[in-house]
Structure 1
């Protein structure tokens, strides 16, 4: 896999934080867990239930050797979120995300969570997800 980084850009690989001092392309030759800086959410951006789940999953991805507390937080948060939702698209998505985390497909869980942000935003704004589509 080829990855291009701009000068000063960070990438998180298997828990390590790397910063490019100039524009660079790297090739990852083996199976590695990584997250580009552009997809990293700051704690102050975790303002909705799905964004909070995203932040927790992100912690698992960024620090893969110490995930026990994050997994416990995720399990509690995802169950509570599912229990209060009545939007079928979100509930189905959360079950998918829960399954991805349980099968250690953390990056896929992160992507699946991000894909639900527009549905959550439409609900918060009072627009039905069916109307928003």
Structure 2
């Protein structure tokens, strides 16, 4: 995250900031005034929901934000997974976005990379339904390695 950002949180809504879990007991607005990596609770993907290649890639990056101690292992898993996905997908929008995701992760903008991946979910679903993209079983081990 770059610059100042105001976030409104509901009571008991979690936010993950630089690996810390914060849960206010009442509605609150917080202002993040410096560069920080964060993830809102409604953007957290549960392991069992990492059911497509892009969702698994998202899960790996999510680990980097939520668990700084596990970030090096997650980064290595990302580096191994991305080339497999680039070789497997044919949709140009997905390929272009995955290259952008790689650049963002390299620049330390994991939050931006997560946002870019979330934007691809509908494109991936359409491609998977059309049978033009890799099947799930090719990527089953990816999310497991990030847990």
Superposition pairs of residues 15-94 of structure 1, within 5 angstroms = 15-94=19-98
> Whose helix proportion is higher, 1 or 2?
2
What's the TM-score, normalizing by structure 2? Answer: 0.81
Task: Report which structure shows greater RCO (CA 8 Å, sep ≥6).
Answer: 2
Alignment correspondent of 1:131: none
Tell me the secondary structure at the aligned position of residue 124 of structure 2. helix
Give the ranges of 4+ consecutive aligned residues of structure 1 lying more than 6 Å apart after TM superposition: none
d(CA) in 2 for partners of 1:111, 1:83: 22
Normalised to the residue count of structure 1, the TM-score between the two structures is 0.89
Any unmatched runs of 5+ in structure 2? 133-147
CA RMSD after TM alignment: 1.5
How many residues were matched structurally? Answer: 128
Q: CA deviation at 1:63?
A: 2.5
Identify which of 14, 18, 21 aligns with 2:18.
14
Q: Deviations over 1:34-61 (max 9, x none)?
A: 1110111111110000000001111112
Tell me, which stretches of 5 or more residues in structure 1 are unaligned?
129-133
